Amino acid sequence: MTGNAELILDGKSLSLPTVTGSEGEVGIDISSLRAKTGAITLDPAYGNTGSCYSDITFIDGEKGILRYRGYDIADLAEKSTFVETSFLLIYGHLPNAEELQTFSNLLTENQMLHESMRFNFQGFPASAHPMAILSAMINAASSYYPNLICTVNRRERFPNHAARLISQVRTIAAYSYRVSHGLPTIFPKSSLHYTENFLHMMFSNPGEDYELKPEIVRALDMIFILHADHEQNCSTSTVRMVASSQANLYASASAGVCALWGPLHGGANQAVLEMLEQIHQDGDDGTKFLKAVKDKTSNRRLMGFGHRVYKNFDPRALIIKAQCDKVLAQLHRSDPLLEIAKKLEEIALNDDYFISRKLYPNVDFYSGIIMRAIGIPVDMFTVMFAIGRMPGWIANFKEVMENPDSRISRPRQIYTGETLRSYRPMAERA
């Protein structure tokens, strides 16, 4: 459906076309605005700006809907695997048995890092954050494929590079953990599935294989599925922005890792755990902490709460919360941090500060408690998010590359600095 919007600027009327997405979302197409009027739109932090058309993921933040390629997230979390979901996101349909086998084979064939990359790992100080290692190593991986300069004209190679990146992000992540803890690196095993292999590379030791418990493998696989895509967020839009310059897949994904790192985005899962640990150490049940959060001068936020798009609930948070209880019960564990998290949620959901601002738990609020129960260190939490998000970034990269109308992304600005002034020699300056 298309229509028109009327804009009146300085008394002159301009008709702008509207576009409607397949779920009824309406956008006003302002692409001719500057050429026709000289004016631009101003939308800091892009809260109202659609930067692209996309067929990949649909979110309705008011209703708490999240769908990958039309499939509901709860359906996928319950019935799919991360590898199958990755195929779905990148290629647009659920794979048949042969397609899934081919994709899995490609993941296995590409799981080993180039031998020389060992030296890159050794160059990082012991204090390096695993996200710094991850972004650097993904970018470094591109240097082993010199003909990769631009993927646009090399579509036939895309499936290999996509599989290599999904497979190697997991290998790099596990190696960065092993190296930063002074442990020997463990090779992946071809006989293991994707998430099993990650746990094996993280926790096995020479001569002593990590015991793979199906409930832990399933919980982690589900965490990866829940993180696999989320339409135009900070990191995915960064990937698309970098891809729009026709930079290669690895460079674009590496930029995504950097954007994800911040505590307002993927880094929130680490921040949540650190917040819960602090509350626990202070002997608080969350009540004092929430009082401080509501006092704006404290500059504190309830990490893992709030979302730019979800204004009712985050469907991923509901699934993860239920999974959290399940995993701890299966492992016969209790965690005081889970009790604090539940208390924080209960108080916040009944408190006018949070109700009036429509602040609800997001995906990061409970995921850290599951990862902690599995034994994943806190500074690896955001890396886990990056492993999960990789197929979404790749799908978005592919969409940019395959769009014949794609142009380099280049926003405008409203300049608020000094107007023209003359250069004065040093002696004349006050």
Please state the closest distance from residue 357 (CB atom) to ligand ACO, in A. 4
Please state the closest distance from residue 226 (CB atom) to ligand ACO, in A. 10
303 binds ligand ACO (CB under 6 A): yes
Tokens 């819960």 locate to: 276
Count of helices and strands (H, E) across the chain: 18, 6
308 binds ligand ACO (CB under 6 A): yes
Out of 307, 325, 332, 335, pick the active-site residue. Answer: 307
293 binds ligand ACO (CB under 6 A): yes
Which are the contacts of 255, defined by CB distance < 8 A and separation ≥ 6?
135, 238, 239, 241, 242
Active site annotation includes 307: yes
Which are the contacts of 211, defined by CB distance < 8 A and separation ≥ 6?
none
Closest to 304 in 3D by CA, of 314, 294, 289: 314
Which one of the spans 166-174, 237-245, 306-314, 398-406 is the region binding ligand ACO (CB under 6 A)?
306-314
Q: Using the rule CB under 6 A, which residue among 63, 114, 288, 357 binds ligand ACO?
A: 357
Q: Using the rule CB under 6 A, which residue among 217, 243, 253, 302 binds ligand ACO?
A: 302
Nearest to ligand ACO of 305, 397 (CB atom): 305
How many chain residues are in contact with ligand ACO, going by CB under 6 A? 18
380 binds ligand ACO (CB under 6 A): no
Nearest to ligand ACO of 317, 376 (CB atom): 317
Tokens 């067929």 locate to: 55
364 binds ligand ACO (CB under 6 A): yes
Please state the closest distance from residue 300 (CB atom) to ligand ACO, in A. 8
Starting at the earlier edge strand, list the strands of the sheet with 2-9.
2-9, 12-20, 26-28
Which are the contacts of 312, defined by CB distance < 8 A and separation ≥ 6?
61, 62, 63, 64, 358, 360
3-state secondary structure of 74: helix
Active site annotation includes 221: no
Residue nearest ligand ACO (C-beta atom) = 306
Do 361 and 314 meet the contact criterion of CB atoms below 8 Å apart? yes
Tokens 């994943």 locate to: 376
Amino acid (1-letter code) at residue 228: A
Which one of the spans 92-100, 121-129, 265-273, 326-334 is the region binding ligand ACO (CB under 6 A)?
265-273
Which residues contribute to the site for ligand ACO (CB under 6 A)?
264-266, 268, 293, 301-308, 357, 359, 362-364
Q: Which residues participate in catalysis according to the annotation?
A: 307, 364
